[in-house]
Homo-oligomer: A and B are copies of this chain.
Amino acid sequence: WARTVRGLLLDVSGVLYDSGGDGGVPIAGSVEAVRRIKASGLKLQFCTNETQATREKFVKKLQGMGFDISVAEVTAPAPAACRILKERGLRPHLLVHDDLISEFAEIDKANPNCVVIGDAAENFTYANLNEAFRVLIGMEKPVLLSLGRGRYYKETDGLKLDVGAYMKALEYACDVQAEVVGKPSKKFFESALAEMGVPPQQAIMIGDDVVNDVGGAQRCGMRALQVRTGKYR
């Protein structure tokens, strides 16, 4: 079956680099691996749940580490969320990282009728969580969009709680179920495949998260590989 493979989806954090306060460090061999994949003629799309920066900043950081990567090659949750917000006339209260806010520049945020939660990192303060909770519980029918549902990830200084943990806190407090934008949502993988122009049965997803990368891809009809870097334990 390996001969039928025409495209790869690559997770980034934990696969190509370990993120961290210092910007992070590339994982040994990964810069060369991306170069070789591209040289081989295989199609390649980076499929990330990264929401600590705009795609532009994210790509710049990776280019700085030596990766051959461009913005158009990155499928990320924030642009996908913006499409959903526009389609459904949703005005978000944002609980996201400071560096992600500009992705939502075009979106009307007055008088919010939903909450969008991303990996807000240092913005996950007691005050900000209470504020997002109050906005949500104040709605007649609370709508919570979550940019991913990861449990945790590895940074250079250790494991960190990911957005999924905070999503669960709000879900429980408000008795709602979040809509997940990003991996492992089927729609998200499908849009990454569409960017490559490769059908699922001719693509492989490579990631370090057995649920969000491997499980999500398999449910879309892709094969998937789990690497032993990043959060792998």
Contact = CB atoms under 8 A, between A and B. Distances in A.
Interface in A161-176: 161-162, 164-166, 168-175
In the complex, the count of this chain's copies comes to: 2
A129 B161 contact: yes
A96 to B, nearest CB: 14
Nearest to A123: B126
Given A126-B124, A137-B159, A159-B133, A152 B173 contact: yes
A121 B129 CA distance: 11
Chain A interface helix/strand/loop/mixed? helix
Contacts of A175: 151
A129 to B, nearest CB: 6
Nearest to A151: B173
A106 interface: no
30 contacts: A121-B126, A122-B126, A124-B129, A125-B125, A125-B126, A129-B161, A130-B159, A130-B160, A130-B161, A133-B159, A133-B161, A133-B165, A134-B158, A134-B159, A137-B152, A137-B159, A151-B173, A151-B174, A152-B173, A161-B169, A161-B173, A162-B173, A164-B172, A164-B173, A165-B172, A165-B173, A166-B169, A168-B169, A168-B171, A169-B169
